[in-house]
Amino acid sequence: MKKNAAEILACLRDHVDFLDEAGAGFCLAGPGRRPSPDAGPAVPDAPESRSPGPGRAAPLAPSRPPARPASPDGRARRDATAADARDLGEVARRVLACRLCPLHKLRTRAVPGEGNPAAELMFIGEAPGRDEDLQGRPFVGRAGQLLRKIIGAMKFREDEVYIANVVKCRPPENRVPHRDEVETCWPYLVRQIELIKPKVIVSLGRTPTEYFVPGRAAMGELRGKFADYQGIPVMPTFHPSYLVRNEGNREIRRMVWEDMQKVMALLGRK
C-alpha cells in the first residue's frame, strides 16, 4: 500500500522529532558507532491455565512455540488470516471479562492490546497507566506518545505494528505489577504472540524483560542485544516512561535509538 504525501510528511516529522529529542550530537554521529552487546539467557515456560470459577473468564492455555513464517527473501510480510483475527478477538474478549486477579476490581477498562494481527514487530510493555485504563488502549499517555514517535522514526506506521502489555489491567497508583499478577496475565500475552507470529519483539522495561530474559542483570546490561523467545528475537530496551522521567538525559535516548536501529536492520527497514 503506497503512502500519500500527508502520510509521508507525518512519518518524516515523527522521525525528525524523535531524532532531535535523542540529541543533536547523536543525530550527526557517523555510521561507525555501534552499541555494545549484552548477554541474555533463555525464557521460562508460561504458567499453567487455571479452572475458571463462577463468573470468571476461562484463561488461555500455554502456547507452543510460534511457527516462523516462510519468507523467500527473509523480508516478505505475511497476510493475516481470518482465523488469526478471530482468535485475537477472542483473546481480547477474555481479557475484557477476566476476573482472575484482584486488579479487575480497580480497573475502569482492561487493555488487551491493539495493532496489526500480522505485525512483524511487536512492542510489549509493563501494564496500563491512568490514561490507558480510561481509554482501554495501550500506550496513549505521555510515554505512549513518545513510543509512537519512536515507531514513526523506525519507518513504521502504527497500523503496521502490535502494541501490548504483560499485565492487562492497571495496578494501583501505577505500581510495578506483582509476580502473581504477571503470571496470571502471562498466558494471554503468550497467546497473542502465538497468533501474531512477530519477527521481532521489543521488550520495554524491566517487567516484561525479566520474563523474556530471566535473571538478575540490570536493564543497562540487557538492552542492546537480541535475546531469544521460542525462536523470535527479543530486543530489551528502556521503557518510554523512563525516558520521560529522564527527558533531559540524551544519552538514554541515544541508547534506545541504537537499540531500535538494530531492530530496523534485522527487519530490513534501515
CB 191 within 8 A of CB 60: yes
Distance, CA of 72 to CA of 241 (rounded, Å): 38
Q: What are 267's three cell numbers?
A: 527487519
Rounded Cα distance between 207 and 190, Å, is: 15
**C-alpha cell at position 69:** 513464517
Distance CA 244, CA 213 (A): 24
Q: In what order do the strands lie in the sheet with 232-237?
A: 114-115, 161-165, 121-125, 200-204, 232-237, 227-229
CB atoms within 10 A of CB 33: 10
Domain ranges of the chain: 5-28+82-266
228 pairs with which residues across the strands? Answer: 233
Quote the pLDDT of residue 216.
85
Would you give per-residue pLDDT tens digits along the chain (270 residues)?
A: 455 666 656 655 655 555 555 543 333 333 333 333 333 333 333 333 333 333 333 334 333 333 433 333 333 344 443 334 468 999 999 999 999 999 999 999 999 999 999 999 999 999 999 999 999 999 999 999 999 999 999 999 999 999 999 999 999 999 999 999 999 999 999 999 999 999 999 999 999 999 999 988 999 999 999 999 999 999 999 999 999 999 889 999 999 999 999 999 999 987
Helix, strand, or coil (residue 58): coil
By CB atoms closer than 10 A (0-12, 13-18, 19+), residue 88 is buried
pTM: 0.72
pLDDT confidence of residue 58: 38
Round to whole Å and give the CA distance between 196 and 54: 30
5-28+82-266 domain in CATH 3.40.470.10?
Answer: yes
